[in-house]
Structure 1
Amino acid sequence: MRVFRLLQLAAQAEGLRWKRMGRGYAIQAALGAGAAAFALMLLVMLHVAALIWLAEGRSGVSAALILAVFDLVIVVVLGWLASRPGADPVALGAARVRDDALRQLGDQAARAAMVAPLLRSQTAKKGLVGAAVTAAVVGLLARR
């Protein structure tokens, strides 16, 4: 019964980890979309500034260039925020729980493998030898 509980715990932890990772990717995508929108506005403002500069004197250009610099700052800040790989502590905890549950499941399987030769054996002497060999093999594999 403990094996099924460990498998259930590992599956729940993995589901939580995937959910939290998806949430992080969605936030990064939204910030990236915001940066792209402001980059587009920056391009429009630079075109408007060039048009005003060509059409008239320098009075409209200074206002458009100030707004373009402001847009550039927003693009840089949002782009920097979107590029950060924020580690979610809940997802990291869920990964640890999953790993612990799977490790305990492996321990349970090793114990079952050690007891199985005793149960299948015709005589206790053969069963003890088989259990000792199985325990040695499982011990060597567990150390890797």
Structure 2
Amino acid sequence: MRLLSLARAAWQAEGLYLRRSGRGYAIQAGLAAAAAIFAVLMLVMLHIAAFAALVPGMGPVWSALIVASADLVLAAILALVARKPPRDVVAEEALALRQAALRQMGDTATQAMILAPLLRSQTLKKGAIGAALTAAVVGFMNRR
């Protein structure tokens, strides 16, 4: 029973932690969205300023083409950089740790299933036969 109460307390603490930290993340996301809006407005103003600076010497059509070409080059560079998938070493290690833990849990459960007939039986011979049969069934199931 103590194990269950500890698990319940850990579950409740995790829920409280997620609720409290979620509020902070929501505020942070809202502020980041506002900053992104102002960054986009700044880029629009820079485009207008570049266009206005180029108009007297080049004319409105060529000025627009020059600004659009610069945007195209920047977009192509950013797209090439974005194509490469990120490699997160910590996430890969966490995945390997999870897989190892699940494999060990399966091994432990298999061992418990094999030893259970030995512990339950009244005679050693009968328990050994039950353990052998259980091992065969578990081995067959693991191969599938």
Hey, what's the Cα distance between the residues in 1 that align with 2:92 and 2:122? Answer: 48
SS of residue matched to 2:71? helix
The answer to whether the aligner puts 1:87 opposite 2:84 as a matched pair is: no
Could you tell me which amino acid in structure 2 is paired with residue 104 of structure 1?
Answer: Q
* Offset, 1:72: 1.2
Equivalent residues, number: 100
SS of residue matched to 1:110? helix
SS of residue matched to 1:86? coil
Hey, what's the Cα distance between the residues in 2 that align with 1:105 and 1:94? Answer: 16
Question: 1:1-144, aligned counterparts within 5 Å?
Answer: 59-144=59-144
User: How well do the aligned residues superpose, as a CA RMSD in angstroms?
Assistant: 3.2
Give the TM-score taking structure 2 as reference length.
Answer: 0.55
Bigger relative contact order, structure 1 or 2 (CA pairs below 8 A, ≥6 apart): 1
C-alpha distance 76-142 of structure 1, shift in aligned 2 (>3 A): same
Percent identity between the two aligned chains: 52
C-alpha distance 90-57 of structure 1, shift in aligned 2 (>3 A): closer
* Offset, 1:86: 2.1
* Offset, 1:62: 2.6
Deviation digits for residues 97-122 of structure 1, max 9, x if unmatched?
A: 11111111111111111110111112
Hey, what's the Cα distance between the residues in 2 that align with 1:58 and 1:77? Answer: 26
SS of residue matched to 1:122? coil
Hey, what's the Cα distance between the residues in 1 that align with 2:67 and 2:124? Answer: 87
* Offset, 1:78: 2.2
SS of residue matched to 1:125? helix
Q: Could you list the runs of 5+ residues in structure 2 that have no partner in the other structure? A: 1-32
